[in-house]
């Protein structure tokens, strides 16, 4: 697997630092300010679970889009010192046929959302913003359920006009418009377990594409 890597675009330490900073920003946006340390309450990552201003007590419903965001969301929630719930949304990307909505479809069997999102602060989480179709479909679906707020968070955003045009609220990294894997992102469902975000050697991608067209 390591031999297939061309180069490391973002290493694990840079990811960890940025995910933590992003979690602080998300906490501030939902609470007003970071919860204070101390007090006789359960501790998470050295910070109190009780926000400074109890009236602004944050309660966030995170909705990761499967499968690519599972590692990102697992790291992110462990830096959110507030009440969080998780819903799951699975979306497949297709080239765009008459039977699919804007090239993407909801995979109902892998989708598990809370019965109601009414009045909830919802944060949609995806691994990468590319054409924006996946997040657009997900946001449309969740907006129909009348949440109090709906924000979007992506680990990566490709520097291409369609991705930039989608107004994501939180972006961990802007990257060049190239194919990357690792930290949850896949190629043919492999390489998700790589701890860094990397590019693959062209011959690996070409070989897989050739065997795909041969079958």
For residue 123, give the nearest of 98, 147, 91 by alpha carbon.
Answer: 147
d(CA 145, CA 61): 13
Binding site for ligand IMP (CB under 6 A): 68, 93, 126-134, 179-181, 185-186
Shortest distance, CB of residue 92 to Mg ion, whole angstroms? 9
Instruction: Considering only the stretches 94-102, 135-143, 147-155, 183-191, report the one whose residues sit in contact with Mg ion under the rule CB under 5 A.
Output: 183-191
Shortest distance, CB of residue 87 to ligand IMP, whole angstroms? 16
For residue 123, give the nearest of 180, 157, 82, 182 by alpha carbon.
Answer: 82
94 binds, among Mg ion, ligand IMP, none (CB under 5 to 8 A by kind): none
d(CA 68, CA 32): 30
d(CA 82, CA 66): 23
Shortest distance, CB of residue 191 to ligand IMP, whole angstroms? 9
Instruction: Considering only the stretches 71-79, 139-147, 186-194, 204-212, report the one whose residues sit in contact with Mg ion under the rule CB under 5 A.
Output: 186-194
9 binds, among ligand IMP, Mg ion, none (CB under 5 to 8 A by kind): none
d(CA 23, CA 58): 13
Give the CA angle between residues 86, 92, 97 to the nearest 5°: 150
- Please say if 130 is a catalytic residue: yes
Binding site for Mg ion (CB under 5 A): 68, 186
Active-site residues: which are they?
Answer: 130
């Amino acid at each position: 697997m390591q031999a297939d890597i061309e180069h490391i675009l973002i290493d694990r330490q840079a990811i960890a630092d940025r995910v933590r900073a992003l979690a602080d920003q998300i906490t501030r946006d939902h609470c007003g300010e970071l919860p204070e340390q101390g007090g006789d309450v359960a501790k998470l990552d050295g910070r109190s679970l009780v926000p400074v201003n109890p009236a602004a007590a944050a309660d966030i419903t995170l909705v990761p889009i499967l499968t690519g965001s599972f590692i990102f969301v697992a790291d992110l929630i462990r830096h959110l010192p507030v009440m969080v719930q998780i819903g799951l949304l699975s979306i497949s990307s297709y080239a765009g046929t008459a039977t699919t909505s804007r090239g993407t479809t909801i995979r109902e069997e892998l989708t598990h959302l809370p019965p109601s999102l009414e009045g909830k602060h919802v944060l949609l989480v995806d691994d990468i913003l590319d054409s924006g179709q996946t997040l657009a479909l997900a946001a449309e679906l969740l907006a129909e359920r009348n949440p109090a707020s709906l924000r979007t968070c992506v680990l990566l955003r490709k520097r291409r006009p369609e991705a930039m045009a989608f107004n994501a609220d939180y972006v961990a990294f802007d990257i060049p418009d190239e194919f990357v894997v690792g930290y949850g992102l896949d190629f043919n469902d492999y390489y998700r377990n790589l701890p860094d975000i990397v590019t693959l050697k062209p011959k690996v991608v070409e070989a897989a594409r050739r065997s795909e067209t041969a079958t």
